[in-house]
Structure 1
Amino acid sequence: MAEKKRSKLGCFQCKQKKKKCDEIKPICTSCLKSNKICRYKSLENSVVKSQRKVDSIVCKDIVGEIIMKNLEHQRFDEINIDTISYGYNNDMFKLLNEYISPDPELKIKLPVDLSESEIGYFEYYCKSILPELSILPQEYNFYSKIYIPLALKEPALLYSLIGWGCKMMKNDGINYLIENEEAEGYCKKVMGIIDQNNLYLNEEKFMVNFCSYMSLVYMNISVGDINEWSTHFTSCFNMINRMPGNFKYLMNFSHEGILLAENFAYFDILASQSNENGTFYPISDYDDVFSNVSNAHDPAQGCIRPLTLIIGEIVTLLVEYSTLQVSLDLTDCSKYELMANVIDKAEKLDKKILFTKPDLSCLKHLNTPEELEGHLTLFDVYQISAQIYLRQVIKKLPSVVPEIEMLFFHLKEGVAFLVKTKFRKSLGFPMLVTALAATSKEDRQDVKSLFENLIQCCGYLSVYQKLWTVIQKVWELNQNGNLYVDWYKITKQFGWRLNLGR
């Protein structure tokens, strides 16, 4: 009988027991069930420890095949240098065309000298982190199309991506509990360069700073940060307001600016504090940007893009309703008229949610029917979540009412399917709503299992661990589902600012 082969990449516990490991990180299923410390061979060991400085790289070796194909596709099929309105982008893509060459040994001059370990962190970001930031096919992954060429020219963005790679590599296995001083050092370097750029802000420095801020925002959201991401996001907002036209200034940067603007709006709408303070910019401004270019596809949103704006409208209506409730200088007649207006807006939003269709234009390059099913299921899940959320935060309906119970049944089914797919990292908002709508002991046990699965697969540094803590508090205050509990007030009590965008 042939000897049963075991993976060489399994954890130390499974290797010691000579059993097959499912290699889920940070904790495999076997260690999770047996309550053992799960350790893998550290990815950091793959980084050369030499501090020898390197001033150039072979691009293909560092960014990998996926990104190279993406950049080459951009060069020959999408980028028309003569029609790009933004001069700095013009230079950036000329640089890109210079280093994309049939010669695999062509070296790219780096904007700063890096150590070999720093090159390793950058390589890890490019090959392991960057492709997963997009739920769309890689042809639509603008993070590689915009961030990588810019990072190869600008130290601020390069250091932010190195810091991201360093943070994730050193958070491998059980090390998620250990503070990463090295990664924080790179973030401080980034902020130092950003501060210098902000002294004399022009178009070129604005784009560098915007991308650097947003990479820090996305990195911190990805690791379940509850404060730092918001600090960087607010700084980015303050910088935008220094430019003519404020948020609409991003539209001056052609297609690339639209994509970056959509990404900003996405994280703004799904921030917990927006439920109390409102979004940084009016949803009408975001709507203008979203509708400006028909073929703009934020890889973090995919086909749910039309629903993101509607969730933003719900958040805006919630803030309007909350302001109305605390207004003391209104007559009863005025309050009645305003309340009737809120209810009318809610009814119109409900119909808008129901008749909204997925953005199918971003699904042209899918390879299999299964991929299409995943994207459409994600849309259905967000659509149902928006319906439930509208009823809860505006109408204050408890989860035990029949219409929410019926919606919950379909929502839980869709989420349970997506938890097992690549979309598992995009379920922050649906998981929140699913948990808020769960009332029975059995349903809550199912939701608990979904959270445990997500935390196990996405890591204890994901937003799901923090969100699960909030949900447990909600359930404690609302044991039978007869009440509506403001989840965002609980995050405020904890001193947290969560973002459900990742």
Structure 2
Amino acid sequence: MLLYTRKAPPKAPKRRSRAGCTYCKEKKKKCDEVRPQCSRCAEHGIECAYEAVKPRQRKKREGPLGEGASDSNSGTCSLGRRFSEAGSDFVAEGDESDGEEEEAPSGKPGRGTLTVRPRSVYPNLAMISPYPAGSPLLEFCPPLFSEFSERPSRRALIDHFCNILSHLIVFREESGNPFQQLVLPLTQKSVPVMNAMYALASAHLEYQGVENPEKSLFFHNRAIQGLGKLIEHNGPGKVNRNEILAAIMLLVYYEVLVQRGHSNIVSVHLKGALTVLCADPDPTDATTAFLERAFRFYDVIAALSNGTAPLSAAPAPGCLQPFPPLGAHAASPLSSVDTLLGMSTTLWPIIHRLSDLLPLKRELELAVRFNDVMPKIAALRAEFESTTAAIETALAQWQPHLPPNFIPDGDDPNPARRNTGKSLNIPAGDTDPPPSPMSAPERARLHSILHNALAYRHSAFVYLYRTLYSYPRSHPAVQTNAHMALEHCVTTVAYAGPMGALLWPLFAAACEAVTTEDRSLAERAFSAIRKRQGMMNIERSWEIVQEVWRRADWADVVAGLPDEGRRRGSMQSMHSGNGELEDGQMDLWRQVSKDLGFNIVFG
């Protein structure tokens, strides 16, 4: 589905009754107005509610509201203006029930104005949101997003999802955003998908300091209930499985964003989604393929975060092809970039296998500790050593696949070519014209995506050496790769491109930073992605990193004390959780996460 806004020719005005039930109004359907339950509500098995018919009133439009003011039909007006309009609508109209939701969690109907608590600045989307989204399902529909809901607060949430969130979680959208193209249309026929989208957008706004009359937890609970009913009644020809997958995927993003303590609900959601996918393993359409790619990404990230094995099997090398947005041209400068994995498509099978090794290492350690039979220990050791060696070789040999007309800054000795991307080796007799030079924003975006992938590569080395090989933090292999990963993270944010998948490589490298230079790099990168992404898991990750540094520094102090002082310091470490952990125990950052009560998923 193409997402664009086009003014349609004038049509004869439609006159319809305003006395229909709230469900039919919400769905923009004609209501037969049978009481106590209309036929449509009876068919869907939902409660039918009628409201008093209000007299028509002509509203006065506010004048320009600051910098963001523009024509009311514009699809590119600023987010601040849209929320100002939504706030004025709350004062004028209140917040009418739509027949699907009963009450806000406070026990009061959702009335009132938006409350803005200053906390952080909205990200500058000049680079990552060059494709303004109007109402995507109708050609021309004022006010914006009114086809989704009559309630201004909910239209504001769809606006936030389309114009902020959807751009923060993808690498590629030159012909449109896949979340808008493939997931958003499902909300028109699936209430659980719609509620999950409301929950995600509302949670992101709450973290930014904008409070909606209806809390994100309210929408989350409604989405969970609806999803349960959707799965319960699923069967051949009954429910499109994309509705189930989309609802679960949005709930995964929600859980990653809000980070509720030690909750393992992300793993539960992933198991449910993969069960649905395995029931019919061949993607039937672009939506299924896109959602499957998203689940496989989070499957590996959750495994690295929790120290568990991935639920899915590792893809074979070369089998993952970049997933483009709908309508993307084959000769696009981003043709080698995946929507969700960036330039890490060929790296991902290696990282998937890497994430599967910590459970194997623990099994080997337990077998040795409890004097298991020697053949089992020998088999486990051989499997562990051969797999880690193969992964180390694969990481050393991996190189990102670059677009043909893209030469990274610093790789081309000719400065004139370095900034234009015109350094091309065209074979003799080739009749195809060379690709057109890239614009500065395109080159900046590609540089961000490239350095993101290189950060993953070096942090994978850090994970291999530190977590699997149990090298000490001071080992040159650990420090060299941690420094390189941090350099690539800082370069990623310096080019101001996509940062949605940067948290894991940044966190893995930052935990091992020991020098003032490396810790400064980590702080700069964390500051940039916290400002851009605005998500709780980033803030919690930064808290863990700082506590890891504090405990690691204390362990170094203890190590330099005389024997008596070292013994006292060791006793203090036992009681406060400070210091380096011995082989066979969890990583220091996992211990810190446990002590702080966080269960971070680094998505």
Name which of 252, 274, 296 aligns with 1:265. 296
Report if the CA contact (8 A) 1:272-1:497 is conserved: no
Partners of 1:179 and 1:401 lie apart in 2 by 50
Q: TM-score, normalised by structure 2?
A: 0.60
Given residue 166 of structure 2, which amino acid in structure 1 is its aligned partner?
Answer: L
Determine if the alignment matches structure 1 residue 409 to structure 2 residue 483: yes
Report if the CA contact (8 A) 2:347-2:398 is conserved: yes
Partners of 2:66 and 2:152 lie apart in 1 by 26
Residue of structure 1 in register with 2:178 after alignment = 142
Residue of structure 2 in register with 1:216 after alignment = 251
Residue of structure 1 in register with 2:271 after alignment = 237
C-alpha change, 1:225 and 1:146, in structure 2 (3 Å) is farther
Partners of 2:251 and 2:166 lie apart in 1 by 14
Report if the CA contact (8 A) 1:261-1:289 is conserved: no
Aligned residues: 418
SS of structure 1 residue aligned to 2:381 = helix
Structure-to-structure mapping, 1:54-69, within 5 angstroms: 66-67=132-133
Partners of 1:298 and 1:226 lie apart in 2 by 32
Partners of 1:180 and 1:471 lie apart in 2 by 35
Report if the CA contact (8 A) 1:170-1:180 is conserved: no
Name which of 365, 382, 404 aligns with 1:325. 365
Report if the CA contact (8 A) 1:125-1:165 is conserved: yes
SS of structure 1 residue aligned to 2:490 = helix
Given residue 311 of structure 1, which amino acid in structure 2 is its aligned partner?
Answer: I
Name which of 291, 311, 318 aligns with 2:319. 291
Q: Deviations over 1:327-365 (max 9, x none)?
A: 225235642453243122111101111222335579999
Structure-to-structure mapping, 1:442-453, within 5 angstroms: 442-453=517-528
Determine if the alignment matches structure 1 residue 490 to structure 2 residue 592: yes
C-alpha change, 1:193 and 1:486, in structure 2 (3 Å) is same
Partners of 2:255 and 2:81 lie apart in 1 by 21
CA drift of 1:396 comes to 0.7
Given residue 379 of structure 1, which amino acid in structure 2 is its aligned partner?
Answer: A
CA drift of 1:52 comes to 4.8
Given residue 530 of structure 2, which amino acid in structure 1 is its aligned partner?
Answer: I
CA drift of 1:124 comes to 2.2
SS of structure 1 residue aligned to 2:514 = coil
Determine if the alignment matches structure 1 residue 281 to structure 2 residue 316: no
C-alpha change, 1:316 and 1:272, in structure 2 (3 Å) is closer
Residue of structure 2 in register with 1:355 after alignment = 397
Residue of structure 2 in register with 1:370 after alignment = 444
CA drift of 1:390 comes to 0.9
Q: TM-score, normalised by structure 1?
A: 0.71
Residue of structure 2 in register with 1:427 after alignment = 502
Q: Deviations over 1:441-465 (max 9, x none)?
A: 4433443444344435544x43222
Given residue 141 of structure 1, which amino acid in structure 2 is its aligned partner?
Answer: N
C-alpha change, 1:54 and 1:64, in structure 2 (3 Å) is farther
CA drift of 1:141 comes to 3.2
SS of structure 2 residue aligned to 1:265 = helix
Q: Deviations over 1:255-283 (max 9, x none)?
A: 32222111111112112676433122332
Partners of 1:282 and 1:465 lie apart in 2 by 31
Question: What runs of 5+ residues in structure 1 fail to find an aligned partner?
Answer: 1-6, 11-39, 56-62, 72-98
SS of structure 1 residue aligned to 2:372 = coil
Task: Indicate the RMSD between aligned Cα atoms, in angstroms.
Answer: 3.9
Residue of structure 1 in register with 2:118 after alignment = none
Determine if the alignment matches structure 1 residue 127 to structure 2 residue 163: yes
C-alpha change, 1:438 and 1:305, in structure 2 (3 Å) is same
Given residue 372 of structure 2, which amino acid in structure 1 is its aligned partner?
Answer: L
Identity level (%): 14
Partners of 1:401 and 1:457 lie apart in 2 by 33
Greater helix proportion: 1
Query: Looking at CA atoms only, which structure, 1 or 2, has the larger radius of gyration?
Result: 2
Residue of structure 1 in register with 2:27 after alignment = none
Q: Which structure's relative contact order is higher, taking Cα pairs within 8 Å and 6+ residues apart?
A: 1
Residue of structure 2 in register with 1:207 after alignment = 242
Report if the CA contact (8 A) 2:270-2:295 is conserved: no
Partners of 1:195 and 1:127 lie apart in 2 by 29
Further displaced range: 409-418 or 373-382: 409-418
Report if the CA contact (8 A) 1:399-1:405 is conserved: yes
Q: Deviations over 1:27-52 (max 9, x none)?
A: xxxxxxxxxxxxx9897444231335
Partners of 2:212 and 2:145 lie apart in 1 by 33
